[in-house]
Amino acid sequence: MDVALDKKLCGYKQIALEKLENILLTIFGRKDLVVEPDMIRILDSFANMTWLKSKGFDKIFKLSSSIPPKTKTLVFMIFANLLTFKHVIDQIQILKSSSQPPEIDAIKEFHIIVVPNLYYIFKHLLESEGLADIVSLHRFSWDFIKVDQNLMLLEIPKTFQQIFIQKDKSVLSSIANSLKVFNIVHKRPNLVLTCGENSEKVIEMVARMESFRKTQKNDNERTPDFNAMIVIDRDADYPSCLLTPVTYSGLMLELYDMKAGVLNIEGENKISSGKLEFLKDPPSKLDEQNDVKTLRMCGSSDEFYTLNKHNHFSDVVNIIKAESKNLEQEKRKYSRDMNLEQMKDFVEQNLPKVAAQKKVLYKHLIICEKIVQEMSLNFEKLQTVEEMIVRNENRKQIFAFFDECLSTNAHKFNILRLVALFHIFNGIGLSGDEINKIIGNYLNAFGHKYLYMFHNLHKAKLFPDILKPGPKNLLQIASNLTKKTSFMTDSLKLKLIPNTDNEIATNEKKKITKTCPSYVFNGNFIPLIAQLANLLIKAENFNEFVTKISGFDMKMQINGELKSLKDASENSKFFPLRPKTVFIFVIGGISYAEVAACKIIESLTGSTIVVASDEVTNGMNLIKSAM
């Protein structure tokens, strides 16, 4: 990546600091800060404790059921969630009743900073509770946070649940506002493409916002940092989240959650927490002795992760073994035969370096052992079943695996993840009996309180409508044999499912070569955003690009309006892309497998691809959103 571009991407931290400082300048005197727990790691990524203290904060508390002490002005910082806001209001009511009534024209004692949107309902609730005189509301958004070299996140939680399950589009305005800031920093790309109704709404909002902005003198002189921007809905490509990745970074996220580029290793992992109690493995000795709490997945402090994050997991395990041997050899270089000067050099230069490398390697050893412990039992079989689902083969064997999972290795989310994948790829669809069997077995395993989950999954297009009967007999199933789901049709047009005979011949080759972005799923599937970026970068002219994605529903922005690709020939002058710079934003979360696939395209085409989203996600998180 170009150094100047990298500095600009890091510059969002300074923008966030200035926006937060402008709010804090309106809050006078010494103050205490109460932060929502999920926000602490994100806040620390751009505003650390030293900076906050320099702005007048004495103490920082986690928002909890315990009421914070009221000795001075209290500043609450929360996400835009009505229940959380009501919880804060209740705490303020208690603090208000225990303190002296404020004087007229006195400084407001309480401030609530809401991220990323301040909705009207919050102001209405504040007034109805009679707190408008002592509480001041502020809106704040940190926009993009750079969590890796080519990955930017808005870190807005539960966006997928809000948009695709609850059908609440209010968060789209916040995404649009951040993309407007992106256009100010980098200048609007020459090509802006959308895929999905939500992405269209976001780009239309950005266009309206920009129409009110005064044109700067140097706007026409500036060259965009990115030649093309693709904004895409998460539901345009569910398989890139639902499939199990084979890359190291992807498998890390299968077990642990990440916030602002920091992996939280502390506590029970996600796979274990989703199992029935009697199926959980007893804690190992390494778990009891484990003092590793976090792993930073960004920056250059962890060279091992930087070099191996997109490698096949089996390769990473072998590299850890080799690195461990090398470190042991480094330690053995110390000898009593050394003279004093040699000993001094060894202790001052070699030992600290070896100790630091050993500490980093120990963290990765803990993670790798946990991945093997939780996933190795059925991993190869799971990969085979996923391949059968993607290629629409061996229906009977797939359902046998579903039954096996529910009876011997029941997991609250991963079994539904497989069923959702099957629903997306299978043209025949699930029969009424099959739907009833899956739901019945699941509820018997985990309890009937989860019945509503299937309705929520249907709203997100991850499960069939349980109220609409599917094909019941062989005649109905046979009539559907030639049918394909809309996603299956698109994946065939865009060649998202590689031809194993030509492109990747053997399982061994899948592990070694990175000549195809399907590498991230063991050769089973190419993430949609990687394929779109590849086609866009390689297209020599506009007609070639339109021909290659013919039939796939995409729109392109022309003079602030979105038009179908057939009507967007005015943009043909921007082909071929020079320089090859593409920015991709996924609404509803992005997986690390997609990030790795785009990195492969980047290295194969000599381009620069920066991917962004509201948060990092995976298949387990998508299913969990239905809860």
pLDDT in tens, 327-358: 777 666 655 566 666 666 666 666 777 777 78
- 95 pLDDT above the threshold of 60: yes
- Both tokens assigned to 35: 């932060």
Domain of residue 87, residue span = 3-142
Same structural domain, 384 and 324: no
**CATH code, domain carrying 30:** 3.40.50.2060
pLDDT, residue 508, reads: 44
Percent share of the chain, pLDDT over 70:
87
Instruction: Out of 124, 142, 160, pick the residue that ends a domain.
Output: 142
Do the domain assignments include residue 125? yes
- 4 pLDDT above the threshold of 50: yes
- Model pLDDT for residues 192-236, shown as the tens digit of each residue: 999 999 999 999 999 999 888 777 666 677 889 999 999 999 999
Do the domain assignments include residue 476? yes
pLDDT, residue 240, reads: 95
pLDDT, residue 334, reads: 57
Tell me how many domains the chain contains.
3
Cβ–Cβ < 8 Å for 234, 589: yes
Element (H, E) at 145: strand 145-148
pLDDT, residue 510, reads: 44
Instruction: Out of 417, 452, 483, pick the residue that ends a domain.
Output: 483
Cβ–Cβ < 8 Å for 99, 61: no
- Both tokens assigned to 515: 């000549």
pLDDT, residue 3, reads: 86
Q: What is the average per-residue pLDDT within 566-594?
A: 91
- 472 pLDDT above the threshold of 60: no
Cβ–Cβ < 8 Å for 165, 459: yes
pLDDT, residue 363, reads: 87
Place of tokens 């890390």: 252
Same structural domain, 363 and 428: no
Do the domain assignments include residue 533? no
Q: What are the residues whose beta carbons fall under 8 Å from the beta carbon of 368, sequence distance 6 or more?
A: 313, 316, 317, 320
Same structural domain, 332 and 441: no
Q: What are the residues whose beta carbons fall under 8 Å from the beta carbon of 120, sequence distance 6 or more?
A: none
- 469 pLDDT above the threshold of 70: no
pLDDT, residue 37, reads: 93
| CA torsion through residues 36, 287, 621, 303, sign | positive
Least confident of 140-149, 318-327, 397-406, 492-501: 492-501
Q: How long a stretch of residues is the chain?
A: 627
Do the domain assignments include residue 364? yes
Same structural domain, 346 and 431: no
Q: Is 73 helix (H, G, I), strand (E, B) or coil?
A: strand
pTM score, two decimals?
A: 0.91
Do the domain assignments include residue 29? yes
pLDDT, residue 483, reads: 55
Q: How many CA atoms lie within 13 A of 407 on its CB side?
A: 7
Q: What are the residues whose beta carbons fall under 8 Å from the beta carbon of 325, sequence distance 6 or more?
A: none
Same structural domain, 313 and 438: no
**CATH code, domain carrying 458:** 1.25.40.850
Do the domain assignments include residue 321? yes
Do the domain assignments include residue 37? yes
Same structural domain, 307 and 360: yes
Least confident of 356-365, 452-461, 592-601, 610-619: 356-365
Distances (CA, A) of 388 to 239, 381, 385, 411, 488: 13, 11, 5, 21, 14
Element (H, E) at 51: helix 49-54
Instruction: Out of 317, 344, 375, pick the residue that ends a domain.
Output: 375
Instruction: Report the DSSP beta bridge partners of residue 486.
Output: none
When the pLDDT of each residue in the chain is averaged and rounded to a whole number, the result is 86
In terms of pLDDT, which residue wins out, 132 or 278? 132
Distances (CA, A) of 136 to 54, 512, 605: 22, 58, 51
pLDDT, residue 340, reads: 63
In terms of pLDDT, which residue wins out, 97 or 334? 97
pLDDT, residue 151, reads: 94
Same structural domain, 410 and 439: yes
pLDDT, residue 211, reads: 86
pLDDT, residue 161, reads: 96
In terms of pLDDT, which residue wins out, 327 or 50? 50
In terms of pLDDT, which residue wins out, 296 or 333? 296
Do the domain assignments include residue 243? no
In terms of pLDDT, which residue wins out, 511 or 284? 284
